Amino acid sequence: MTIKDVMSTYRELLQTAREFLEKKGIADAGLDAWYLLAHVFGIDRADFFMYGDEPVSPEKALIYKELVEKRAMHVPLQYITGTQQFMGLEFEVDENVLIPRQETELLAEEVLKVCKGKSVLDICTGSGCIIISLAVLGNLNKAVGTDISPKALEVAERNAKRHNAAVEFIQSDLLEKVKGSYDIIVSNPPYIKSDEYRTLMPEVRDHEPRLALDAGETGLVFYERIIKNLDKYLKPGGYVFFEIGYNQGKEVSHLLYEAGFENINVKKDYSGYDRIVCAKKRLNDIMEE
C-alpha cells in the first residue's frame, strides 16, 4: 500500500486502502478498510463525514498502512484490532483463541432461556465469550470454563476481568479435571473434518488455532468424548447444549439418544443450517417412578 508523500486526507487514505485490499482479494475490502481507519484514528462515521477531507497525522497514517498490509495477508481483522463483539459485549481476541461468531450467539441465547440461578460448565471455552456472556446476562449460580490451552485461558481470564464476571477457569482436556456436577453443560468444540479444514478460507486456516477447529476424520470425536462422560458431570434433569457443523445435526442427536438423553432438539442458524443441538438428561429411575 502506497501512501502519498504529501499529507493524505482521511478520505484519500480510506480509498487507497480499499483499492489495495480489493486487489489482494480481500472480501469486504471497503468495510475492513473503514474498520481499520476507525480503529487507528478513533473516529466514527459522523467524524468522517465532517472531517474526511482534512489531513491526517503522518505517524498514524503509517500505522494504518501497516495494519492494512496485515489484512492484505489475510490476517483476520479481529486479530489486528484485538477485539470482537459478542452478545453485545466486547471481547479480547488473539491468535490463541477462536474468533467468536454470530452463529455462536445462538448457542448463548438458547442457554440463557434456562440458566437463571443455575450452575453452568462451558467446555472448550476459548476466549470465554460464551460463559462470560452467560455470567453477565444470565444471573448464574456458578460459572466454570475449561480449555486445554493455557494461552487461551489467559485471554479468557482477562475477558472475565474486563466484564467483572465471576467465572472460574480450569485447564483441562475436556472434562478430565472437572469436579462436581452441573445443571447445564455447554460447548462449542472443534467440529471441522480434517479434509474440510484444508479448504477453509485462509483467514481461518492459516491464522485461527487449529486446535479449536480440527476434529479429525469424522468431525465428531469431541462430541463422542464429551457425551461419553456427561453422565458423571451433568445433574439429573440437566441440559446439554452443543454448537455443531451445518450437516451434523442427525449424527450428534443420535449420539445423545444412544447416551440416554431426551427432548433432543436441533435448531437452525440465520442461514437455515443446523447449528445447535440441545438435550435433557433423564431423571434417575427412582425419581421417574
Q: What is the mean pLDDT of residues 70-80?
A: 97
**Segment 102-122 mean pLDDT:** 97
**CA triple 238-242-246, angle to 5 deg:** 150
Residue 78, pLDDT > 80, answer yes
Helix, strand, coil % in the chain, rounded to nearest 5: 45, 20, 35
Distance CA 254, CA 52 (A): 57
Q: What pLDDT does 283 receive?
A: 84
282 or 186, greater pLDDT:
186
Distant-in-sequence, close-in-space partners of 93: CB < 8 Å, separation ≥ 6: 78, 79, 82, 83, 84, 99, 100, 127, 155
Please measure the distance between the N-terminal and C-terminal CA atoms of the chain and give it in whole angstroms: 72
pLDDT at 170 over 90: yes
Task: Average the pLDDT over 88-107 and give the result.
Answer: 97
Asked whether the predicted pLDDT for residue 27 surpasses 50, the reply is yes
Residues 6 or more apart whose Cβ sits within 8 Å of residue 251? 220, 223
pLDDT for position 4: 57
% of the chain beyond a pLDDT of 70: 96
Rounded to the nearest integer, the mean pLDDT of the chain is 94
> What residue ranges define each of the domains in the chain, with the CATH number in brackets?
10-73 (1.10.8), 83-288 (3.40.50.150)
For 262, the 3-state DSSP assignment is strand
pTM of the model: 0.92
User: In the structure, what pLDDT confidence band is assigned to residue 2 with cuts at 50, 70 and 90?
Assistant: low
Measured CA to CA, the distance from residue 110 to residue 112 in angstroms comes to 5
Long-range contacts (CB closer than 8 Å, 24 or more residues apart) made by 45-48: 48/10, 48/11, 48/14
